[in-house]
Chain A
Amino acid sequence: MVLLKTLQKNAWPFAALLLVSGGARADTLNGADTAWVLTATALVLFMTIPGLSLFYAGLVRVKNVLSVLMQCFALTCLMSVLWFVAGYTIAFGSEGVEQGPFIGDFGNIFFASISVDSMMGTIPASLFAVFQMTFAIITPALIVGAFAERMRFSAMLVFCSIWLLVVYSPVCHWVWGGGWLGDMGLQDFAGGTVVHITAAVAALVAALVMGPRRGFGTVPMPPHNLTITVAGAGMLWVGWFGFNAGSALGANNTAAMAMLVTHLSAACGALAWMTMEWVRHGKPSVLGIVTGMVAGLGTITPASGSVGPAAAIVIGLSAGVVCYFATNLLKNALKVDDSLDVFPVHGVGGILGTLLAGIFCSTQLGIFSGNGFSEGISSIGGQLFVQATGVAATFAYTAVMTFIILKLVDMMIGLRIGADEENEGLDLALHDERGYNL
């Protein structure tokens, strides 16, 4: 019962525990758990194709719409294979092997120790591997927004391939695979550090290393089709239920509460951003309300297994307001061309959510109470310290490694397409196709 309670409170450290101590695992398959995680896996894949793809595609200019769809689609394929080859084992290692603090053991290269009968808790090990694969797909795909409209396709594939193995997989190990941050008691239920901070810091570094698009700040670059952006945003919202509630790895109380807080935070993020624009600009914008929704979702992600519904309202509202100001600051004051605002939305949201999880997991906050601190931690200060350590370590490691990888790829292939090609648009220059032949 104590074990079961631990599972419901915080499934990730438990999953990690299973990995390191093969003897203590509960290897009886639970049909409900398996059915839910199967469903959640499909939902998370749906977030990338077509959700995120459409969300991003609508935001670029008409001459680059296919290039963004292509980047997301090709990444979905390539990251899946790389996860199978080496990503998974770097992140999670293999069963029954003591896991080191920084990377997993290499026993699961090519999923070597996963058979049709292997179990991970109450679900098949193959299901856990493919569920995690969909996370490894969406994380590099999120970065696409930063270098949209100017990156060479081949360079993008090489960069994301190295990045998955060198940045994503190790950080995933630190937090979820039995590594040092998980051991410290970091509460990151569904990927505030692992997914959103890594993707967004990589996005910021990529935007800085590659430089702005030609004409940034002088030539108008409005979204070419907000209709598909709104459609993609709706798909993201739905898919996020799989992302957060699926991270419970079971059909249980934690999953249900994660779905509830995820939904409330999305709604409040959307309302907060809409209100900010309404008050400051005079009109509520469509792009504003959907961006606020993404901010609300990204921010609740790390906290979705630790907090209650009242806290989710606070988290969502603060996400909408803080990410709104961050977006304006980065674009207008700092003049950084993070083209589709990956860092101010996902990065700032991911950091905010990871920190707020450390506060609202407390059981002493009345209606705002959550599910409790990690084992061995007894105060908000103690939990916040761990959360801040997680944020800082993920931020620093991602920034340094992403910078090195980008410089390497720049030397090997060259990151940017030529000026003529950029003017012509990536669709024709790189793919010999047009998005719309009307």
Chain B
Amino acid sequence: MKMMTAIIKPFKLDDVREALQQIGILGMTVEEVKGYGRQKGHTELYRGAEYLVEFQPKVKIQIGVADDQLDAAIEAVCNAASTGKIGDGKIFVTALEQSIRIRTGETGEEAL
């Protein structure tokens, strides 16, 4: 099992959710986050006071995926979240030791 963490542009969330649903991934956890990388920030101007806002709003999605679903999931997120411009985001993949469905007590890939 793998834990997939995708950081994407906020307005791409629905596209990504739909793409994952189509390949059979039915659960995910979403957070609103801020960050910056190559995109840097932007400036805001209020009556002559100029502020550099360094952090950009992003959405962070966490998905537990079965090993054989990983490549399809990565492809789905990449296709759905891409605009081709700087700031499209990143995907991190880490090992996932265990997962448990609290209601039934199922474990492992059964519980994803």
A331 proximal to B (CB < 8 A): yes
Q: How large is the interface on A (under 10, 10 to 19, 20 to 34, 35 or more residues)?
A: 10 to 19
Closest to B44 in A: A222
Do the beta carbons of A287 and B53 come within 8 Å of each other?
no
Instruction: Contact check, A291 vs B47: say whether CB atoms are below 8 A apart.
Output: yes
A152 vs B40: C-alpha distance when bound (angstroms): 38
- Among candidates A220, A283, A287, residue contacting B47 with C-beta atoms closer than 8 Å: A287
List the A residue with the shortest CB-CB distance to B54: A220
Contacts of A188 in B (CB 8 A): none
| A-side contacts of B95, CB under 8 Å | none
CB neighbours of B53 from chain A (8 A) = 220
- Closest beta carbon of chain B to A322's beta carbon, Å: 14
B46 and A223 form a contact (CB under 8 A): yes
A252 within 8 A of B: no
Say whether B105 faces chain A, with CB atoms less than 8 Å apart.
Answer: no
Q: Does B102 contact A (CB under 8 A)?
A: no
CB closest residue in chain A, given B48: A328
Contact between B48 and A327, CB atoms less than 8 A apart: yes
Interface residues of A in 258-294 (CB under 8 A from B): 277, 281, 283, 285, 287-288, 291
CB distance A288 to B51 under 8 Å?
no
Contact A327 B44 (CB under 8 A): no
Q: For B52, list chain A residues within 8 Å (CB).
A: 220
Please report the C-alpha to C-alpha distance between residue A216 and residue B51 in the assembled complex, in whole angstroms.
12
B47 cross-chain contacts in A, Cβ below 8 A: 287-288, 291, 327, 331, 341
> Is B86 part of the contact surface with A, judged by Cβ < 8 Å?
no
Contact check, B48 vs A331: say whether CB atoms are below 8 A apart: yes
The verdict on A332 contacting chain B, using a C-beta distance below 8 Å, is: yes
What is the 8 Å Cβ interface bit string for chain A, positions 199-242, against chain B (1 contact, 0 not)? 00000000000000000000011110000000000000000000
Query: What's the Cα separation between A221 and B51 when bound, in Å?
Result: 8
Q: Is the CB of A285 within 8 A of B45?
A: yes
- Which secondary structure dominates where chain A touches chain B? helix
Inter-subunit contact B46/A287 (CB<8 Å): yes
CB nearest neighbor in A for B51: A220
Cβ contacts A167-200/B at 8 Å (1 or 0 each) = 0000000000000000000000000000000000
Complex-state Cα separation, A98 to B46, whole angstroms:
50
Tell me, rounded to whole Å, the shortest Cβ–Cβ distance linking B88 to chain A.
25
Binary contact readout B46-62 vs A (1 if CB under 8 angstroms, 0 otherwise)? 11110111000000000
Write the chain B residue with the least CB distance to A286: B46
List A contacts of B45 (CB < 8 A): 277, 281, 283, 285
Q: Are A332 and B46 in contact (CB under 8 A)?
A: no
How far apart are A114's CB and chain B's nearest CB, in angstroms? 42
Return chain B residues, CB-CB under 8 Å to A281.
Answer: 45
Give CA–CA (A283, B49) in the complex, Å: 14
A193 CA to B45 CA in the complex, in Å? 31
Q: Output the least CB separation between B86 and chain A (Å).
A: 20
Contact A332 B48 (CB under 8 A): yes
Distance in angstroms between the alpha carbons of A221 and B46 in the assembled complex: 9
User: In the bound complex, what is the Cα–Cα distance between A174 and B71 (angstroms)?
Assistant: 82
* Residue pair A222, B46 in contact (C-beta under 8 Å): yes
List, in ascending order, chain A residues with CB within 8 A of B44's CB: 220, 222
Name the interface residues of B35-89: CB closer than 8 Å to any CB of A: 44-49, 51-53
Closest beta carbon of chain A to B32's beta carbon, Å? 13
Q: Once the chains are docked, how many angstroms separate the CA of A374 from the CA of B62?
A: 76
- Rounded to whole angstroms, the CA-CA distance of A287 and B51 in the bound complex is 15
Q: How far is the CA of A288 from the CA of B49 in the complex (A)?
A: 12
Please name the residue on chain B nearest to A332 by beta carbon: B48
Q: Report the Cα distance A328→B51, complex, angstroms.
A: 14
Could you tell me the distance in whole angstroms from the C-beta of A347 to the nearest C-beta in chain B?
15
Nearest chain A CB to B33 CB, angstrom units: 18
In the complex, given contacts A277-B45, A283-B45, what are 6 additional A-B residue pairs having Cβ atoms less than 8 angstroms apart?
A220-B51, A220-B53, A222-B51, A223-B46, A287-B46, A328-B48
| 8 A-B pairs (CB sep. < 8 Å) | A220-B51, A220-B52, A222-B51, A223-B46, A277-B45, A285-B45, A288-B47, A328-B48
What 6 A-B pairs come out closest when comparing CB atoms? A220-B51, A328-B48, A331-B48, A327-B48, A327-B47, A222-B46
